[in-house]
Amino acid sequence: MKLNWANRITILRILLIVPFVSCMLKTNEPALSDGVRNMMRYISTVIFLVMAGSDVLDGYLARNKGQTTRLGSFLDPTADKLLVTCACLLLASRRAGVEGFLLPPTVVVLIIGKDVLLLIGFVIVYFITSRLYIAPVLIGKILVGLQSSMVAAILLAPEISVIFPGWIWFLRFLWWSAAATAVLATLIYIRNGSRYIEQYEQENVSRVS
């Protein structure tokens, strides 16, 4: 199967997670100087922004250039979930988090918990219907935007907070907005999955009768 540009960009985004995590793990490395640790955070920020930008680009190519594929429909949300999961876990840890701006554990649990529940739901739907059901909804895209903004805002917080002392309050708004949106998205996906199963069962009943 020949990969189109949208899928290639998505795969590149997945591969960039490795250097992103590697650099993040060095941002608080005691053996490194302050300058090197800051440089690692800057590099992590650039890599993250490139990945976020590639998400917009591959989405544009898929929708407007006729490059939508089943593989892309699976890879794109997978890339988003891998990136967000890694970023949230790192930014909530003392090892890789930004000092003074650690992501609250509750926010991490709600955001990652949403993806865990969706994975379980995906498996349940597949076992019941024997079909791969992937149906993106608008709130999912909103959540990705909030999460990306949240991660970038945390990574740049030490510099921005010098200019805007109240930056921590904006960060808290982003944290809890992303968490609340994750909960709402979970409920919507559960509703849509339940409806899909009901529709499938009704179709089977109609065929039998």
pLDDT of residue 71: 74
pLDDT-flagged residues of the chain (< 50): none
CA–CA dist 24, 200 (Å, integer): 45
- Report the alpha-carbon distance of residue 206 to residue 108 in Å, rounded: 44
Q: Please give the pLDDT value at position 2.
A: 65
Whole-model pTM: value is 0.88
As to burial, measured by CB atoms within 10 angstroms (0-12 exposed, 13-18 middle, 19+ buried), residue 42 is middle
Kindly state the helix (H) or strand (E) to which residue 98 belongs, with its residue range.
Answer: none
pLDDT over 90 percentage in the chain: 58
